[in-house]
Amino acid sequence: MKFKILLALIFVNLIQAQKFYFPKTAVTDSVTLEKQIPGLAQQVIPLLQSAKYKPENNIDLMDNLFRLQMATQDYKKSIVSLSENRNLFADHNMAGYRLVGFELYSMAKMAQKENNISFSNALQKVFTQKYESLPEKLTPRLKLVLDGDVAEFRKQLRKVLDKQKDKDSIDYKTALALCKSYINYKTYTSIKPQVLQLLASKDKERFIIETKDLTIKNGNTLTITIVRKKGNTSPLPVILTNNIYAGSFDELFGKRAAIYNYVGAIVNTRGKRNSNNVNNPFEHESEDIYEVIDWVSKQPWSDGKVGMIGGSYLGFSQWAAVKKVHPALKTIVPQVAVGIGIDYPAQNNIFMSYMLQWIQYVTNNKFTDEKDFANAVKWDSINTKWYKSGRSFRSLDTISGKPSKIFQRWLDHPGYDQYWQKMVPYKEDFSKINIPILTTTGYYDDDQIGALYYFKQHHQYNKNANHYLVIGPYNHGGAQSFGFTYVNGNPIDPAARISIDDLAFSWFDYILKGGKKPEILKDKINFQVMNTNTWKHVSNLDKMHTSSVKFYLQDKKNTSSVFNKPETKSFTTQIVDFKNRDQKDSYYKVSKKDSIKTTNSVAFESEVLDKDMIISGNLSGTFHVSINKKDFDTDTYLYQIQPDGKSFLLSTHIVRASYAKNNEKRQLLEPNKMEQIPINNSYFMSKKIEKGSKLLLLVGVNKSPNWQINYGTGKDVSDETIKDSGEPLEIKWYNDSYVELPVYND
């Protein structure tokens, strides 16, 4: 009896310390591990739901809870939690079904027990049930969510277990991580091979899929995949996608088009799949796509009309295609389109370190090097090593261990010169584009600047451009196909939870089949105002706002309002030492739970707003500065400090000062002379800022492993090294500098 009491006391003490008994033998013995997991998960669940450990949002709570319930082998409860998890997402997209693999596993375990059959037979039974219950338009994406990375799951499980070596107790955080990683690994090792075979069988029943090599007139060979729905026997319009990311996405895009009753055609770029031509991303798309359109439009399954769709590089490809419009190309739907030379590989003329990671991703092999691309530790290490070394940005590829001719060639064109201009329409070229176009992008889209560049140029040079824009609270993925319900951890308004796929193919129905115009396209610009649950519709970008407010770079202690022009001229001095690569980060304290990194920035805080304000459009304005060098890269952030004390990033802007007035021609600054730096090409947003909020404006200097470092000598920035840094950069930010906030009033 005394022994039992003693054990109980030990157990209570462990719980109070948020630690649980966990034998060290479980680390090395898989049988012991499997026996221990259910009991461990059972103890973790109450703490997950407790006030102390409960996640801030329901997504994280439900994401953890269903895995713990699976770990306890309570599959009935896990299925309920999985259903609740899915309900947190919009029903029209695959985001809500991203966990279907776990659902299949739980259902199969229940069916195995209830029907006394093998797990394999149970899995086949529940897969058929689940597949037939899914909306048809979601089935093309099933492979994405069922093709779990078993090797990565094994690696993560091993990583957690290694932390437990020689320990007989486990803390709450590690226990939660262990249960989750165990279930991830257990689920996909159990279901993956079989469900992928079952899915392939279903696809074979539904689609005709052909992959062939296409030799075009210019002598190049490209791999093309054609997908048709078996029930469609008459010629149909072709939806073409030009895809550098060769692999599983080819069939996905093709099946998506077929499901919407089109012929899907996916062509891979030069050097991909079976093509033995040289792979030079971006450079030859205009020429090649023209030939591909010509071929597909003449095939027996084509009615002669071609539309194009795709996001990111695939969005860029469509703008390359209209450099010279083929008569059969009737419309394009560029989504989150890369603005080549505009926002990638340099944003506002500042090259990004990510470019090398991406180059290797698409050129290491004939498909995509997923393992290398996803190796964040490797790439962070390479970028940090370069940053710490002080070597030139041009040496980054050498530091990575894999020199790149493409990387070097891109660096040879720091301005928006003919090298970039020839890849897509340039100035007057836009006047000749007379086909209807639908552009989609988002406030959080990494390529928003590029997508809007094409939109603005088209309308500038073609006054009758039949070109529509849909923009809302979407990230790079959400604005091209997956209308996520949560972005950056924040729920988007219900009104914004639209199906991007449905929108795109409704547009194709409208243009290619004489269908009804999509309801949301009430005007050329269609934008969602965050925090209002409404969409607005205006005829041009300037009408996204009705007035503006200037936020001056002045300390609110010296003025009644940062929105009033200062009466006397002064400046704030900022010193940035480029030699210092071990600089400690500084932070702006927002609240007990929130802070904002302000390293290499100067913070300007507004007074508390006494009424609601809708900021809608993009930041503009002018910085009046004086520096002791010939150039620098500005870095600007605008935050809302909400009444609850949480920060919300509204917009950012980065630019090389010497290119701020003209992205084609560098104009160096004169040291110690006051210069004007215009703010252009910042990120668009539209959001209601509640009364009781404050605005926080950070202005500063780019000095980061993620971007080139501009030492200000006036030489080619790619060739500058830390030896060129000289004395620290001294900036005088004059208080009549301002960031102009676009304001919308009903």
* Percent with pLDDT over 90 in the chain: 87
Angle at 452 between CA 451 and CA 457, to 5 degrees: 110
Among 569, 695, 710, smallest CA distance to 635 is for: 710
Q: Tell me the pLDDT band of 63, cut-offs 50, 70 and 90.
A: confident
Distance CA 198, CA 128 (A): 8
Tokens for 70?
Answer: 């699976």
Distance CA 608, CA 633 (A): 30
Write the pLDDT tens digit of every residue in 337-393: 999 999 999 999 999 999 999 999 999 999 999 999 999 999 999 999 999 999 999
pLDDT of residue 98: 83
**Cβ count within 10 A of residue 259:** 21
Distance CA 312, CA 607 (A): 39
* Percent with pLDDT over 70 in the chain: 96
Q: Is pLDDT of 1 > 80?
A: no
Q: Any residues with CB less than 8 A from the CB of 226 and at least 6 apart, and which?
A: 208, 209, 210, 211, 212, 254, 263, 264, 265, 301
Burial 565-592 (b: 16+ CB within 10 A, else e): ebeeeebbebebebeeeeeeeeebebee
Write the pLDDT tens digit of every residue in 315-327: 999 999 999 999 9
- Identify whether the C-beta of residue 102 lies closer than 8 Å to the C-beta of residue 66: yes
Distance CA 188, CA 146 (A): 8
Specify which residues 654 forms β-bridges with. Answer: 635
pLDDT of residue 209: 97
Tokens 């080819």, residue located: 250
Q: Is pLDDT of 733 > 60?
A: yes
Write the pLDDT tens digit of every residue in 693-720: 999 999 999 999 999 999 999 999 999 9
pLDDT of residue 18: 78
Q: Is pLDDT of 14 > 80?
A: no
Considering only 21-30, 149-158, 414-423, 484-493, which range has the smallest mean pLDDT?
A: 484-493
Kindly tell me the burial class for residue 262, based on how many C-beta atoms sit within 10 Å of its own C-beta (0-12, 13-18, 19 or more): buried
Q: Tell me the pLDDT band of 4, cut-offs 50, 70 and 90.
A: very low
Distance CA 412, CA 410 (A): 5
Q: Is pLDDT of 122 > 90?
A: yes
Write the pLDDT tens digit of every residue in 393-413: 999 999 999 999 999 999 999
Q: Is pLDDT of 30 > 90?
A: yes
Q: Tell me the pLDDT band of 17, cut-offs 50, 70 and 90.
A: low
pLDDT of residue 13: 44
Average model confidence (pLDDT) for the chain?
A: 94
Q: Is pLDDT of 12 > 50?
A: no
**Where would I find the H helices in 147-233?**
150-162, 172-206
Q: Is pLDDT of 62 > 90?
A: no
Distance CA 638, CA 683 (A): 10
Q: Is pLDDT of 729 > 80?
A: yes
Distance CA 710, CA 633 (A): 6
Q: Measured between alpha carbons, how far is residue 210 from residues 114, 396, 502, 638 in Å?
A: 41, 41, 25, 50
pLDDT of residue 215: 95
Q: Tell me the pLDDT band of 2, cut-offs 50, 70 and 90.
A: very low
Q: Tell me the pLDDT band of 488, cut-offs 50, 70 and 90.
A: confident
Considering only 1-5, 119-123, 463-467, which range has the smallest mean pLDDT?
A: 1-5
Among 497, 431, 440, smallest CA distance to 464 is for: 431
Kindly state the average pLDDT of the residues 437-447: 97
pLDDT of residue 5: 45
Name the residue with higher pLDDT: 486 or 246: 246
Write the pLDDT tens digit of every residue in 610-658: 999 999 999 999 999 999 999 999 999 999 999 999 999 999 999 999 9
R_g over Cα of the chain: 28
Q: Is pLDDT of 505 > 80?
A: yes
pLDDT of residue 486: 77
Q: Is pLDDT of 560 > 90?
A: no
